[in-house]
C-alpha cells in the first residue's frame, strides 16, 4: 500500500513514524537479497571491503542506463522535461549486473506536480496505476511512499524497471526515487558521473 504526504510532515517528531519503518524494511530486504544473491558477501555499508557489498542511495545515472564515463561529472539529475497529454517514461532502465535497487517510494520535488497518475513495472511484475491527484493539493515536496512492511519492491541484476506518468502539464519535473542501491563491486560507484 502507498500513501501521500507533504515532505514537511514526514520529517520531525511524531510525523509519519511509519516512514522510518518502511525505509528500514526496504533496506533490510535489499541487504537480505544481496546476501542470498551474492553468497559469501556481507554488508559493508558505504565503503565495503573484500567480500562485502556496499549500500548507497539510488543514483540518477544508474536509472538513465548511462553508466559510462562519457558524460561530465554532475550532469545527471532526476529532473526531466515532459510534454503534456500522454503517458511519459519517468524511468526506463535495466539494473546493472552486480546491483540491486530497493524502492520505498518517490518524492516529487517541485511546486507543480505535472503527473496525475503513475504506473510501474519491474521485470514481469506490474503494479496498479496510482492516482496522484490528492498529492497535487500538498504543493511542493509531495511524497508517495510505501506503507506495508514485508512487501518490498526490489529490482535485481539485469531486471527491467519502467515507471511512467500521465503528464497533465508540460514542463520540468524532478521525480526522486526513495530507496537504496546495493552494489557488489566498488568500481561500479566510484566514477565521477
The model's pLDDT over 171-188, given as tens digits with 9 standing for 90+, comes to: 999 999 989 999 998 777
Tell me whether residue 120 is in a domain.
yes
Cβ-based neighbour number of residue 73 at 10 Å: 9
Rounded to two decimals, the pTM is: 0.87
| C-alpha–C-alpha distance, residues 178 and 145, integer Å | 8
**Mean pLDDT across the chain:** 83
Question: pLDDT of 56-100, one tens digit each?
Answer: 999 888 887 655 545 544 557 888 999 999 999 999 999 989 999
Tell me whether residue 72 is in a domain.
no
Question: Terminal CA-to-CA distance of the chain, rounded, Å?
Answer: 34
Tell me whether residue 193 is in a domain.
no
Tell me whether residue 113 is in a domain.
yes
Residue 24 has pLDDT above 60, yes or no: yes
**pLDDT confidence of residue 193:** 45
pLDDT band at 38 (very low <50, low <70, confident <90, very high): very high
Tell me whether residue 20 is in a domain.
yes
C-beta separation of 102 from 28 below 8 A: no
Q: 152 Cβ partners below 8 Å, 6+ apart? A: 25, 26, 29, 30, 102, 103, 146
DSSP 8-state symbol, 168: S
**pLDDT confidence of residue 139:** 63
| C-alpha–C-alpha distance, residues 102 and 84, integer Å | 29
**pLDDT confidence of residue 173:** 92
Cβ-based neighbour number of residue 98 at 10 Å: 17
Q: Which domain holds residue 183?
A: 2-67+77-187
Number of domains in the chain: 1
Alpha carbon distances (Å) from 39 to 22, 120, 133, 155, 171: 26, 30, 43, 18, 45
- Top mean pLDDT of 45-54, 159-168, 182-191 is at 159-168
Amino acid at each position: 500500500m502507498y500513501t501521500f504526504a507533504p515532505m514537511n510532515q514526514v520529517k520531525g517528531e511524531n510525523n509519519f513514524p511509519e516512514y522510518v519503518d518502511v525505509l528500514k524494511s526496504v533496506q533490510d530486504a535489499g541487504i537480505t537479497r544481496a546476501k542470498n544473491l551474492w553468497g559469501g558477501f556481507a554488508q559493508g555499508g558505504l565503503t565495503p571491503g573484500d567480500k562485502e557489498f556496499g549500500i548507497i542511495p539510488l543514483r540518477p545515472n544508474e536509472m538513465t542506463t548511462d553508466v559510462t564515463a562519457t558524460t561530465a561529472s554532475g550532469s545527471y539529475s532526476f529532473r526531466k522535461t515532459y510534454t503534456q497529454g500522454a503517458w511519459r517514461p519517468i524511468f526506463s532502465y535495466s539494473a546493472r549486473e552486480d546491483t540491486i535497487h530497493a524502492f520505498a517510494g518517490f518524492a516529487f520535488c517541485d511546486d507543480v506536480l505535472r503527473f496525475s497518475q503513475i504506473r510501474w513495472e519491474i521485470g514481469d511484475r506490474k503494479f496498479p496505476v496510482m492516482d496522484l491527484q490528492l498529492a497535487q493539493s500538498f504543493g511542493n515536496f509531495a511524497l508517495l511512499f510505501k506503507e506495508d512492511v514485508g512487501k518490498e519492491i526490489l529490482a535485481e541484476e539485469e531486471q527491467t524497471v519502467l515507471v511512467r506518468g500521465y503528464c497533465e502539464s508540460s514542463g520540468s519535473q524532478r521525480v526522486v526515487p526513495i530507496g537504496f542501491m546495493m552494489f557488489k563491486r566498488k568500481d561500479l560507484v566510484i566514477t565521477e558521473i
